[in-house]
Structure 1
Amino acid sequence: MRPRSRALAAAVAAALLLTSGCLAAPGGPMTGDTATGTSPGSPATTASSTPLPGKSIAWPDGPKERPERPPELNESSVGSFARTYEYRYVYNSLWYDETSEVSLECEVDRVERRGDAWRAVVTCTGYSNTGGEAENGTATSTVVHADWFTQTYVYWIDGESVHRERAGE
């Protein structure tokens, strides 16, 4: 091999080593899940398991708590869990403070088994009004109105994780 060829081969090898971590395919194994507390190398992230679509869910501030995952996952329990999860998530997203009045309707559109996970589609529509109480008798109160126009989300649920993504993404 000529000196120039060796230098070129060394440069190519160095470039491959430097970029090897950047060449992973989309949807490849995740390196951790903040919603479930898994860490790299735990059973939920090993190479043999397939990561769920969507993203882990950061819980919004508000009065509603994250619901408990059902002990047994089946069509009925997954549908109920996904509806409750989305209802509480949207409620907290619309809630501002103790004067908030949140009106919300959610329904399960579909639940199906996909491999080792369940897929549930949930649609919610709602709004909130916050404020309206004047601090003194002469002040004018202001009501802040927020709409949650009809939105549909897909929940991916398995024994370890709950992921959420907007329908159609």
Structure 2
Amino acid sequence: MLGRQGDPYGKFAIPPGVLRDRHERSKYMDNIFMEHKDSLTPYTKEDFEFPGVSVEGVTFSNRLETHFEEFHYSLINATDNTAEIADGKTEGMDFHLVIFVSDGAKDAAVDGLHESTTFNHYGSQDGTYPDNQPHGYPLDRHVDDECIITGVSNFMSMDIKVYHIEE
């Protein structure tokens, strides 16, 4: 609905979205400001004259310098490209690190693993989860039942600790 204020008849067929709506509202507000600014009377010479006032001298205690930075526009400025890795705690945070190494050609597969309703990589068995943690990438979730990786030669698993060190 808000996007219709800039294109009420759908002439430009811009798909709805937050950026489009924000741009349209900004343009709308800028136009209101410009209409107000254009309605003001222009300044006259008398507005800037102060009879009986004179400036005898101006001194600066420091030199004013402007430094320009070499800068190029990049999409990285608009999107976050930092790795979402926990900083850790000074006493350390426990993680269970799991690594699979493969060229993809000779991987052993478990038939129907993705269609299974009795087991998944969160440790869910028969549709119940072992805890109420969010179901994102489970680096900090230890799954006791490792039935899908037993006997796989390209697999390594270890418990590690991540520390946060102030520099």
Question: One fold, TM greater than 0.5?
Answer: no
TM-score normalised by the shorter chain: which range applies?
A: under 0.3
Structure scoring higher RCO (CA < 8 A, sep ≥ 6) equals: 2
Structure richer in helix, relative to its length? 1
| TM-score (ref. length: structure 2) | 0.17
Larger Rg computed on CA atoms: 2
| TM-score (ref. length: structure 1) | 0.17
